[in-house]
Amino acid sequence: MSRAHRGAIGFIAARAAAVAAVLALAGCATAEYYTQAIAGHLDVVRREQPIADLLADPATSQPLRAELERVLAMRDFASRELALPDNGSYRSYADLGRPYVLWNVFAAAEFSVDATRSCFPVAGCVSYRGYYARADAERYAKALAARGFDVYIGGVPAYSTLGWFDDPVLNTFVGYPEGEVARILFHELAHQVVYVKDDSVFNESFAVTVERTGVRRWFARGTPAADVRAYEALRERREAFVALVLRFRARLDALYHEPIAEAAKRADKARLLAEMEIAYGALKAQWGGYTGFDGFFAQKLGNAHFAAIAVYTERVPAFERLLAREGNDLPRFYAAVKRLARLPKAERDVALDALAR
């Protein structure tokens, strides 16, 4: 076991002890949630292997070898050309034997498009619960549904520990198309540069700005034109899908605020959700039958689906202008963003509003 692995496991053990100290103050459900979270992340750590060791091992399959070599090239590029942290993150690999590292459970009330939040003594309040086992996620979702909530379970291919640990490359995303793998790596590493508590819009908009800049620069190294076109097509489809979801989210939100009987709201809700599925079918037809977002509709459509599509990119234009103002120099850009991050939120928002004008 490498020194990084031993350190990570030691850190988990220390955090587990801290969590144990507050579990006596929490309900059984909270204790069970923390237990699975600690065990789940520890399992990921135990499965990690240095990529260099895998590349030196003749038993490593050729497809995986090619994917890991590509990741290492992106990882070196991220630190060398994008000034992202040069640490142990994404220099190890873990095969989890499943398609996602986590399954997030979202819930919303019958007449609300806002996510129901869960609060914990250590983690604070969040708009979802993440489970390392799908069965656990389904069990929790079933309990919420029995209480009348709309629920949605979404698989998560990657997540960031914000520099607390050296995050590994996972089987859940290593085989994605080139642009998607680069996007994930650059985005998650950006969170290690700047992260402001309780300001998801700021954090995600900053990371998306770094991600977009990074992918463009990565492609400029000589990525085949066909691969670039495929990435751009996927990005455009993603944006069109999110726009569709937000359009119907707004319509549902307006409906829920109307002063009408619940039975009428329920009927209009069903009509709008059916209309949304029809609109999605039309969008797919424009894409030539592309099915990449079909999973969103595989579960019974409800308010929790809208809670799961959180759009945190509204500040991207402001960050892009800040990057341009800093001469497209990423270290200078990061320094400017860190200065913004130190401001109180109200002042930070004013500064970003000014940048966007």
The whole-number pLDDT of residue 5 equals 39
Do residues 93 and 174 touch, judged by C-beta distance below 8 A? yes
What is the pLDDT, as a whole number, of residue 6?
Answer: 35
User: Tokens for 140?
Assistant: 């929790």
Q: Tens digit of pLDDT per residue, the chain (357 long)? A: 443 333 333 333 333 333 333 333 445 567 788 889 899 999 999 999 999 999 999 999 999 999 999 999 999 999 999 999 999 999 999 999 999 999 999 999 999 999 887 765 544 456 789 999 999 999 999 999 999 999 999 999 998 888 888 999 999 999 999 999 999 999 999 999 999 887 888 998 999 999 999 999 999 999 999 999 999 999 999 999 999 999 999 999 999 999 999 999 999 999 999 999 999 999 999 999 899 999 999 999 999 999 888 777 889 999 999 999 999 999 999 999 999 999 999 999 999 999 998
Positive/negative CA dihedral, 270, 115, 255, 282:
negative
pLDDT value, residue 274: 97
How many Å apart are CA 165 and CA 89, to the nearest integer? 8
Instruction: List the chain domain ranges.
Output: 3-175
Burial 28-49 (b: 16+ CB within 10 A, else e): eebbebbebbbebbbebbebbb
> What is the reported pLDDT for 116?
87
> What residues are paired with 125 via a beta bridge?
119
pLDDT at 28: 58
Cβ contact 293:308 at 8 Å: no
Pairing label, strands 129-131, 92-94 = unpaired
Distance, C-alpha 106 to centroid of its chain: 14
Per-residue HEC secondary structure of the chain comes to CCHHHHHHHHHHHHHHHHHHHHHCCCCHHHHHHHHHHHHHHHHHHHHCEEHHHHHHCCCCCHHHHHHHHHHHHHHHHHHHHCCCCCCCCCCEEECCCCCCCEEEEEEECCCCCCCCCEEECCCEEECCEEECCHHHHHHHHHHHHHCCCEEEEEEECCCCCCCCCCCCEECCCCCCCHHHHHHHHHHHHHHHHCCCCCCHHHHHHHHHHHHHHHHHHHHCCCCCHHHHHHHHHHHHHHHHHHHHHHHHHHHHHHHHCCCCCHHHHHHHHHHHHHHHHHHHHHHHHHCCCCCCCHHHHCCCCCHHHHHHCCCCCCCHHHHHHHHHHCCCCHHHHHHHHHHHHCCCHHHHHHHHHHHHC
Q: Is 110 exposed, middle or buried (0-12, 13-18, 19+ CB in 10 A)?
A: middle
45: which 2 tokens? 């750590």
- Give the pLDDT score at 117: 76
pLDDT at residue 200 in the model = 82
